[in-house]
Amino acid sequence: MVDEVMRSTQRPEVIDATLAALDPDRDRPPSVMEVDSLTLRFGEKTILSDVSVAFPRGTVTALIGPTGSGKSTFLRTLNRMNDRVSGFRHDGDVTLDGVSVWAPHQDLLSVRRRVGMLFQRPNPFPMSIRDNVVAGVKAHGIAKGRQLDVVAETRLREVGLWDAVKDRLGESPFRLSGGQQQLLCLARALAVGPEMLLLDEPTSSLDPGSTESVENLMRQLTPALTLIVVTHNLGQARRVSQSTILFYDGRLIEHGATSELFDAPRDPRTQRYVNGLMG
Amino acid sequence: MTGPADFGSPDSVTTGPVPPLRPARRRGGILRRCEEPLWRWGGRVASLIPLAGLTFVLVVLAVKAWPAIRVNGPGFLTRSLWQPGSTYGAPVRTGGVLHPVGSSYGAWPLIAGTLQSSFIAVLVALPISLGAAFALTERLPKWLSRPLGFFVEVLAGIPSVIIGLWGVLELGPFLARHVYPLIANHVPNVAVLRYFRGSTGYGEGLMTSGLVLGLMIVPIIASTTRDLFLQVPPLPKEGGEALGMTDAEVARWITVPWVRSGIIGATVLGLGRALGETIAVAMVSGSILGQVAPNVYGTMTTIAATIVSQLDSAATDGTGFAVATLAEAGLILAVISIAVNVAARGIVNRTSRLAAPVGRV
């Protein structure tokens, strides 16, 4: 009898069911974000046509493609950073956990809290290092008072910056190196507890050492977070991402597992781009 | 302001052989050959002129004021009475200085009036200017912000006598009839706010002076601040937006702090204008000598307004003592202005510790 129970609890489907019950994401769509036939225009100029793609929870997706292919515009649309650019129009939809980011009841500020962003160049705020980390936390009222110090330390440790800055938390961030500033911006983005991070060429202004730390962090942040990274660095795309999307001339050319896209591209344009014959 | 120089777009840069900066031998006329030394020495002389001018003015003022300083003593700063004395009786001599019999001067109401009215002016002008600058750079579409920005500059160019005239004919009476009573009757009767209660007068006084001065320094602070806001790079602001900050939070935490030292500088510029503004204040202050305004609406005067309104009658004092006293008041005003600038420099040095250098990122 006891053996019977023991055996039954070890049946794979039972274990799966138990695990599934523990999974906080069990009732959510498997893709944290879905893009449905998205077309982007600035005035009369079409930047991106008819892009449909899903970003599975807890993965890193790399967006590659030549300059001007529309990948940065695409990325900035996902957290609605383009909304205020004059002439910007969109067709199609972007959904976050099944709800359109443009839905009337959708709160823009909370979309941006849930979908964080890291920029091409570090952009610290003109306040102390500690205040930089907790700026978003304060804005969203997530923590206050002494808790902020805990948040700052936690996040700075998370990005590996704590030992370098713990004695100068009250000082200006502008005296940090570029790499440290970018890690600070990452800590700041993580501090508000996002579900996704959009990274727009996050290491293009960094030295190789800093690039490596940012890439290591990107790997560690999954599967807790879903990452989308725009990069010109094909090596980086291979190193950090599970799937890769190639944009070319305002169109999504190919989307697939990173290893397949690089080693066995289906589209000739992909083949030429990943082999460095087209840039 | 201190914007980066405009070197044109990259496309307009001509490429080609760069001519040598200093040709081996100068050709051309005498002017051309003198250009370099003229540049060097002219620049050095020009850079000394502001210092020389300041020194000269202060020395002349001090010399003119010296008799008054000796007779009036340190009590000049705290006494309230302003009494030229009798020009008919025989002058008397105090400490070797001849002055009319019965003359007694005190500059406290002038000093207080100057500081009070300028304080009100900055208090009123700073939020309006920041708001206007923010709207002009961040909120309004270009077709609207350009003409509106132009009007800000036009306001700066209106002569102060015209603003004073408007203040004494229109603004003052209007405020005294419709606005001041509302404030005076509804402000609670407690400590500092008590100063806002009581008789509201006819529109000439401290509050009207402060408001008129405020209006006059809005263009100074607003146009400078607008230029500063335009220099704030977009990237940190986008960073704030991407973090889910509201526009107000981006402005308060990023845009304004980014140019904080410049805003302080612009404010001091405006404050300096307010401290020294003469004719408009002389018209709307009520020009009452000898008393500090009993409440915020009360009549008063400032150092500058007193100098201009009293100079005529002072010239009738045959001993020259009245003019010396006005010079002493002028010296105090100069010292206040310099002190404000020095203090501002200190604040800038302290607060720019965390600010980003303008133009970075």
pLDDT 10s digits, A52-100: 999 999 999 999 999 888 899 999 999 999 998 888 999 999 999 989 9
Which residues from B are below 8 Å from A174, CB to CB?
A: 356-357, 360
CA neighbours closer than 13 Å in the CB half-sphere of residue A261: 26
Q: Which of B298, B111, B299, B123 is nearest to B197 (CA)?
A: B298
Q: Which of A133, A211, A134 is nearest to A178 (CA)?
A: A211
CATH level 3 topology of B106-351: MetI-like fold (1.10.3720)
d(CA B192, CA B206): 16
pLDDT band at A127 (very low <50, low <70, confident <90, very high): very high
In one letter, which amino acid is A269? R
A127 near B CB under 8 A: yes
Q: Do A174 and B356 touch (CB under 8 A)?
A: yes
The shortest CB-CB distance from A119 to any of B238, B246, B355 is to B238
Q: Where are the beta strands (DSSP E) in chain A?
A: 31-42, 45-56, 60-64, 88-96, 99-100, 115-118, 196-200, 226-230, 243-248, 251-257
A185 near B CB under 8 A: yes
Which residues from B are below 8 Å from A172, CB to CB?
A: 353-356
Instruction: Tell me how close the Cα of B356 comes to any Cα of chain A, in angstroms.
Output: 6
pLDDT band at A11 (very low <50, low <70, confident <90, very high): low
d(CA A110, CA A79): 10
Among all residues of chain B, which has the CA nearest to that of A173?
Answer: B354
The shortest CB-CB distance from A136 to any of B243, B356, B357 is to B243
Burial of B209 (C-beta count, 10 Å sphere; 0-12/13-18/19+): buried
Encode chain B (361 residues) as per-residue pLDDT tens digits.
334 434 434 444 455 666 666 655 656 677 777 888 888 888 899 999 999 999 999 999 999 999 999 999 999 999 999 988 887 888 888 888 889 988 899 999 999 999 999 999 999 999 999 999 999 988 888 888 888 888 888 888 899 999 999 999 999 999 999 999 999 988 888 888 888 888 888 889 999 999 999 999 999 999 999 999 998 999 999 999 999 999 989 999 999 999 888 898 899 989 999 999 999 999 999 988 888 998 999 999 999 999 999 999 998 888 899 999 999 999 999 999 999 989 888 877 776 655 554 433 3
Q: Do A174 and B357 touch (CB under 8 A)?
A: yes
d(CA B264, CA B225): 10
Q: Which letter does DSSP use for residue B137 in this model? A: I
Q: What is the pLDDT of residue B34?
A: 81
Cβ atoms of B288 and B302 closer than 8 Å: no
In one letter, which amino acid is A75? L
Taking a contact as any Cβ pair under 8 Å apart, which residues of chain B between 256 and 285 contact chain A?
257-258, 260
A168 near B CB under 8 A: no
Among all residues of chain B, which has the CA nearest to that of A108?
Answer: B244
Which residues from B are below 8 Å from A116, CB to CB?
A: 242-243
A250 near B CB under 8 A: no
Q: Do A128 and B357 touch (CB under 8 A)?
A: no
Question: Helices B30-72 and B321-351, interaxial angle, to 10°?
Answer: 120
Cβ atoms of B217 and B119 closer than 8 Å: no
Among all residues of chain B, which has the CA nearest to that of A120?
Answer: B235
How far from each other are the two terminal CA atoms of chain B, in whole angstroms?
19
The Cβ of residue B76 has, within 10 Å, a number of other Cβ atoms equal to: 20
Which residues from B are below 8 Å from A124, CB to CB?
A: 236, 239, 356
Percent of the residues in chain A that have a pLDDT greater than 70, as a whole number: 94
A95 near B CB under 8 A: no
Instruction: Tell me how close the Cα of B139 comes to any Cα of chain A, in angstroms.
Output: 11
Domains of chain A from N-terminus onward = 2-123+193-274 (3.40.50.300)
Instruction: Tell me how close the Cα of B253 comes to any Cα of chain A, in angstroms.
Output: 8
Which residues from B are below 8 Å from A125, CB to CB?
A: 236, 239-240, 253-254, 257
d(CA B316, CA B149): 47
Average per-residue pLDDT in chain A? 90
Instruction: Tell me how close the Cα of A203 comes to any Cα of chain B, in angstroms.
Output: 15
Among all residues of chain B, which has the CA nearest to that of A77?
Answer: B242
Handedness of CA A56, A61, A65, A67 (dihedral sign): positive
Q: Do B235 and A172 touch (CB under 8 A)?
A: no
Structure tokens at A208: 């190789």
The shortest CB-CB distance from B360 to any of A135, A139, A174 is to A174
Q: Which letter does DSSP use for residue B322 in this model? A: H
Sequence length of chain B is 361
A1 near B CB under 8 A: no
Read off the pLDDT of residues A152-186 as tens digits, 9 standing for 90 and up.
Answer: 999 999 999 999 999 999 999 999 999 999 999 99
Instruction: Tell me how close the Cα of B82 comes to any Cα of chain A, in angstroms.
Output: 50
The shortest CB-CB distance from A136 to any of B244, B354, B355 is to B244
Whether A37 shows a pLDDT value over 90: the answer reads yes
A174 near B CB under 8 A: yes
d(CA B94, CA B73): 11
A148 near B CB under 8 A: no
The shortest CB-CB distance from B354 to any of A109, A126, A136 is to A126
φ, ψ of residue B343 in degrees (nearest 5): -60, -40
Burial of B83 (C-beta count, 10 Å sphere; 0-12/13-18/19+): middle
Instruction: Tell me how close the Cα of A249 comes to any Cα of chain B, in angstroms.
Output: 24
Of the residues B243, B250, B252, B264, the best mutation for testing chain A's interface (the one with the most A CB atoms within 10 Å of its CB) is: B243
Read off the pLDDT of residues A47-61 as tens digits, 9 standing for 90 and up.
Answer: 999 999 999 999 999
Q: What is the pLDDT of residue B125?
A: 96
ipTM above 0.90, yes or no: no
Structure tokens at A214: 């940012």
Q: What is the pTM of this model?
A: 0.77
Q: Do A125 and B244 touch (CB under 8 A)?
A: no
Burial of A192 (C-beta count, 10 Å sphere; 0-12/13-18/19+): buried
Distance of alpha carbon B104 from its chain centroid, rounded? Answer: 30
d(CA A180, CA A183): 5
Annotated domain spans of chain B: 35-71, 106-351
d(CA B283, CA A225): 67
Which residues from A are below 8 Å from B236, CB to CB?
A: 123-126
Instruction: Tell me how close the Cα of A7 comes to any Cα of chain B, in angstroms.
Output: 50
